[in-house]
Amino acid sequence: MAGRSRRGDNAVFKVACRRKAGSLTGEKHVKVRVEQGDIARYGADVLVVNLFEGVTAPGGGTGAVDRALEGAISKVIAAGDLRGKSGELVVLHTLGRIPAPRVAVAGLGSREGFDIDAVRNLAANVVRGLRRPGVRKVATLAHGAGVGGLDPEAAAQAIAEGSILGGYRFLKHKTANDEERAEIDEVVIVEHDGGKVAAMQRAVERGTVLAEATNIARDWANEPSNHLTPTMLAERAEALAREAGMEFEVLERREMERKGMGALLSVAKGSAEPPKLVRLGWRGRGGEGWDLALVGKGITFDTGGISIKPAANMEAMKADMTGAASVIAAAWALARLGAKVNVVAIAPCTENMPSGSATKPGDVVRAMNGRTIEVINTDAEGRLVLADALCWANELGAKRIVDVATLTGAVTTALGDICYALMTNDETLCRQVEEAAAAAGEKTWRLPMWKEYDEFIKSDVADCRNVGTGNRGAGTIVGAKFLEPFAGKTPWVHLDIAGVDNLSADRGWATKGASGYSVRALINLGLRLSEA
Ligand code: BES
Ligand code: MN
Ligand code: ZN
């Protein structure tokens, strides 16, 4: 009995330690690095090699390991137990033939269509697939850099991103046992050619920052709303800003009132928690103005307000602040990477609650730019908080604006959980965002912004209404059409991520629960603008 209670105490102690260590950049994650060496002779708990579909006699690093194992890999292929299919992971025991006790062969899929996304997803599957007590150190080939024909630096970055993103879990509130807590400590990319190592190591470091930023956004989105109120979100944002040497500012209710932010305030009215308008700035280029403003919806819980939501699945609305988390994490990453771009992240944060002081359907409110809004449905609150945040981005001198929001359930009806919707008033910025997202392995799909849709949000009593009239559909476009006048003439892209921000199962680099979609796309956009 004494032994049992001692073990119990240890478990509690461990949880407390992890929490402290992970307070800023998420829970402890796998460390990735590059080393020059010969993979077959490398000392690790597992060696990860690879195989294209249809290959019977492996070459390159996999061939070298096969020879060291006296043809064990070829024999498993011949037996039909290893086919190189994408997602496949076959673990062999080396029985003392080489220093490492295990070899894992990861399937690369078919050669056609093999790309950097496949490498990132493979690395994620490998980290999840090999997670077990006894596996702490993993050595891997730079998948795709050999016969795959991919750039070694890009492959190294993708392995770092995939390993750190794929290994993500949210265990903070769980009293998990040691088996559940088993974690891979390090992934070493073993590269034969010493001349490539330094550049690959730099790529790994870049990938690590991108993945860490994503995991921060995931942590915030997975956090229950009683552990992440607008006040607590602002505190966490301040800690990040301090760490990266960024400007930091929070507008309180009083300042919102002074600026005439009646749309944002109308959402906050029903809640006992004070709203926070959070701003982080990074002047990497120097000088005046902001090359890029990132605006993110920060509803820390969306009950719908007086237009209350049904009980089923309402708990998912703790993640109605993934837009805010994404823009803050992305700006932090750009600061950490020293990007030569002036970027500002703006996050209007509040709960959307029903109460005696809540906004009621039919109420008319006035946004910062003077535009009046008839609030037909208090559950269309995201566009209200974004309206004032977009006005503020313009007041601050934004040259381009990208907003990110879990804005409509309709986007899931249209596109499912495969891609997110993009709407814009500017062709150039649209293309830049599309390319930045594609480079992150994120699919986007553009929806139209034809003037015919303006009809949908005409009001009899105000300048506009916050939801469409009748049953005319196009809910996602209507949301964007509502936002458009608040962006004004500034080049602007609106991303509706409500279909992809929370996944029901792991999918390559994207994990179950908060997926982290849009974070690396925004970082890539900032990096592209800094090169220009
Ligand atoms: N946060 C929701 C959108 C949402 C729904 C995100 C499901 C993720 C999953 C948003 O505030 C909302 O309630 N939108 C309404 C708009 C409607 C009232 C026009 C919706 O989609 O039902
Ligand atoms: Mn809502
Ligand atoms: Zn919402």
For 272-301, the pLDDT digits (tens) are 999 999 999 999 999 999 999 999 999 999
Distance CA 142, CA 151 (A): 10
Task: Determine the distance separating the centroid of ligand 3 and the alpha carbon of 158, expressed in angstroms.
Answer: 33
Count CA atoms closer than 13 A to 519's CA, side-chain side. Answer: 33
Q: Is 213 part of any domain?
A: no
Domain count, the chain: 2
Supply the residue whose CA is at minimum distance from atom 5 of ligand 1.
409
Residue 531 binned pLDDT confidence (cut-offs 50, 70, 90): confident
Q: Is 488 part of any domain?
A: yes
- Residues labelled as active-site residues: 309, 383
Picking from 23-32, 132-141, 173-182, which range would have the lowest pLDDT averaged per residue? 23-32
Distance CA 334, CA 293 (A): 13
Task: Determine the distance separating the centroid of ligand 3 and the alpha carbon of 271, expressed in angstroms.
Answer: 14
Q: State which of 173, 207, 241 marks the end of a domain.
A: 207
Q: Is 414 part of any domain?
A: yes
Residue 377 CA: nearest ligand 1 atom is: 18
Count CA atoms closer than 13 A to 325's CA, side-chain side. Answer: 33
Query: CB under 8 Å, gap of 24 or more: what pairs does 125-129 form?
Result: 125/87, 125/89, 125/166, 125/508, 126/48, 126/89, 126/162, 126/163, 126/166, 127/30, 127/162, 127/163, 127/166, 127/167, 127/184, 127/187, 128/166, 128/167, 128/506, 129/89, 129/104
Segment 384-422, tens digit of pLDDT: 999 999 999 999 999 999 999 999 999 999 999 999 999
Mean pLDDT of 363-381: 98
What single DSSP character describes residue 289?
S
Angle separating helix axes 230-244 and 322-336, nearest 10 degrees: 10
Distance CA 515, CA 504 (A): 10
Residue 381 CA: nearest ligand 1 atom is: 11
What percent of the chain is predicted at pLDDT more than 90? 91
Picking from 16-20, 198-202, 346-350, which range would have the lowest pLDDT averaged per residue? 16-20
Residue 467 CA: nearest ligand 1 atom is: 19
Residue 299 CA: nearest ligand 1 atom is: 1
Residue 21 binned pLDDT confidence (cut-offs 50, 70, 90): very low
What is the residue-wise DSSP string for 190-213?
EES-GGGHHHHHHHHHHHHHHHHH
Q: Is 302 part of any domain?
A: yes
Residue 468 CA: nearest ligand 1 atom is: 19
Q: Is pLDDT of 8 > 60?
A: no
CB atoms within 5 A of ion ligand 2 belong to 302, 379, 381
Task: Determine the distance separating the centroid of ligand 2 and the alpha carbon of 382, expressed in angstroms.
Answer: 6
Choosing from 264, 307, 408 the residue with most ligand 1 atoms within 8 A of its CB, the one to mutate for a pocket test is 408
Are 199 and 230 in the same domain?
Answer: no
Beta strands in 226-302 (DSSP E): 247-251, 276-283, 292-296, 298-302
Segment 145-157, tens digit of pLDDT: 988 899 999 999 9
Higher pLDDT, 327 or 147: 327
Are 301 and 420 in the same domain?
Answer: yes
**Please, are residues 351 and 301 in contact by the beta-carbon 8 Å criterion?**
yes
Are 404 and 510 in the same domain?
Answer: yes
**Please, are residues 480 and 447 in contact by the beta-carbon 8 Å criterion?**
yes
**Please, are residues 55 and 63 in contact by the beta-carbon 8 Å criterion?**
no
Are 202 and 231 in the same domain?
Answer: no
What percent of the chain is predicted at pLDDT more than 70? 95
CB atoms within 5 A of ion ligand 3 belong to 299, 302, 320, 382
Task: Determine the distance separating the centroid of ligand 1 and the alpha carbon of 464, expressed in angstroms.
Answer: 19
Are 343 and 198 in the same domain?
Answer: no
Ligand nearest to the CA of 299: 3
CATH number at residue 307: 3.40.630.10
Here the tokens at position 382 are 């995201």
Are 328 and 427 in the same domain?
Answer: yes
Residue 18 binned pLDDT confidence (cut-offs 50, 70, 90): very low
Q: Which residues line ligand 1 (CB under 6 A)?
A: 302, 320, 377, 379-382, 406, 408-410, 467, 475, 498
Domain region containing 190: 25-207
Sign of CA dihedral 24, 25, 27, 30: negative
DSSP 3-state assignment of 50?
A: strand
Supply the residue whose CA is at minimum distance from atom 13 of ligand 1.
379
Closest CA to 493 of 427, 430, 399, 440: 430
Provide φ and ψ at 265, rounded to 5°: -65, -30
Q: Is pLDDT of 1 > 70?
A: no
Task: Determine the distance separating the centroid of ligand 3 and the alpha carbon of 282, expressed in angstroms.
Answer: 28
Are 451 and 396 in the same domain?
Answer: yes
Q: What is the pLDDT of residue 13?
A: 33
Distance CA 331, CA 522 (A): 8
Q: Is 189 part of any domain?
A: yes
Distance CA 114, CA 105 (A): 17
Q: Is 77 part of any domain?
A: yes
Q: Is 212 part of any domain?
A: no
Q: Is 406 part of any domain?
A: yes
Choosing from 264, 379, 465 the residue with most ligand 1 atoms within 8 A of its CB, the one to mutate for a pocket test is 379
Ligand nearest to the CA of 304: 2
Are 182 and 244 in the same domain?
Answer: no
Q: State which of 179, 207, 235 marks the end of a domain.
A: 207
Mean pLDDT of 63-67: 98
Here the tokens at position 315 are 């708990």
Distance CA 329, CA 212 (A): 9
**Please, are residues 491 and 400 in contact by the beta-carbon 8 Å criterion?**
yes
Q: What is the pLDDT of residue 3?
A: 34
Residue carrying the six token digits 């990266």: 244
Supply the residue whose CA is at minimum distance from atom 16 of ligand 1.
380
Closest CA to 327 of 82, 112, 494: 494
Ligand nearest to the CA of 410: 1
Distance CA 425, CA 108 (A): 40
Q: Is pLDDT of 443 > 80?
A: yes
Which residues is 279 bridged to in the sheet? 249, 346
Q: What is the pLDDT of residue 68?
A: 98
Closest CA to 429 of 496, 494, 519, 479: 494
Supply the residue whose CA is at minimum distance from atom 7 of ligand 1.
409
Q: State which of 207, 236, 264 marks the end of a domain.
A: 207
Q: Which residues contact 375 (CB under 8 A, 6 or more apart)?
A: 266, 359, 360, 361, 362, 363, 364, 365, 384, 465, 466
Q: What is the pLDDT of residue 25?
A: 57
Quick count: other Cβ atoms within 10 Å of Cβ 91? 14
Pairing type for strands 247-251 and 276-283 reads antiparallel
Task: Determine the distance separating the centroid of ligand 2 and the alpha carbon of 480, expressed in angstroms.
Answer: 15
Cα–Cα distances in angstroms (integers) from residue 183 to residues 29, 123, 179, 353, 374, in the given order: 8, 15, 9, 39, 52
Distance CA 39, CA 156 (A): 15
Are 201 and 239 in the same domain?
Answer: no
Task: Determine the distance separating the centroid of ligand 1 and the alpha carbon of 237, expressed in angstroms.
Answer: 25
Task: Determine the distance separating the centroid of ligand 2 and the alpha carbon of 314, expressed in angstroms.
Answer: 10
**Please, are residues 68 and 98 in contact by the beta-carbon 8 Å criterion?**
yes
CATH number at residue 177: 3.40.220.10
Are 185 and 233 in the same domain?
Answer: no
Quick count: other Cβ atoms within 10 Å of Cβ 185? 13
Residue 352 CA: nearest ligand 1 atom is: 11
Are 94 and 241 in the same domain?
Answer: no
Are 146 and 292 in the same domain?
Answer: no
